[in-house]
Amino acid sequence: MSEGTSLKRFILWDYPRASWQYDVMVGLILAFIFLTPREIFRDQPKARNVALVDTDGGGSRYLVEPDLLAGQDEAARRATVEKLIHSQAGARNRKIERVEAIYDAEKDVRGYLVYTKP
């Protein structure tokens, strides 16, 4: 068997299961998956869209990214915030008291602060 034929069989995955060649290929794939540093692919964990800021007196405050609520009126914003708080923050028993926009120095919305109560 020539070297070109072996390379062709390797690329086309032409080895039968449970053969030593098949096991070597699977081992190489697993080594690539688990040993490749995440920096090579610039794969970084994404921050959550909803974050618990603090809890006091039974109430909680959550910070919501502005992109999630962009272009929505007050009623739609409140419904979306309620879905986000229940699904992403795991606070299914929380009622939304109010939603306040957080602005930066240029009056751009940087996020929304959501006040909840049990």
Average pLDDT, the chain: 84
pLDDT at 1: 56
Is residue 53 pLDDT above 60, yes or no? yes
Residues 105, 61 within the same domain:
yes
The pLDDT of 17-32, averaged and rounded, is: 92
Q: Tally the domains of the chain.
A: 2
Cβ–Cβ < 8 Å for 13, 23: no
Q: Is 32 in the same domain as 61?
A: no
Cβ atoms of residues 85 and 50 within 8 Å: yes
Mean pLDDT of 35-41: 83
Q: How confident is the model at residue 29 (pLDDT cuts 50, 70, 90)?
A: very high
110 and 84 inside one domain: yes
User: How many whole angstroms from its chain centre is CA 72?
Assistant: 23
Prediction pTM value: 0.55
User: How far apart, in whole angstroms, are the C-alpha atoms of residue 64 and residue 85?
Assistant: 9
Measured in degrees and rounded to the nearest 5, phi and psi for residue 51 equal -130, 135
Assign 35 a pLDDT band (cuts: 50, 70, 90). Answer: very high
Residue 89: is its pLDDT beyond 70? Answer: no
Let me know whether 26 and 67 are in one domain: no
Domain with 83 in it: 50-117
Mark whether 112 and 54 lie in a shared domain. yes
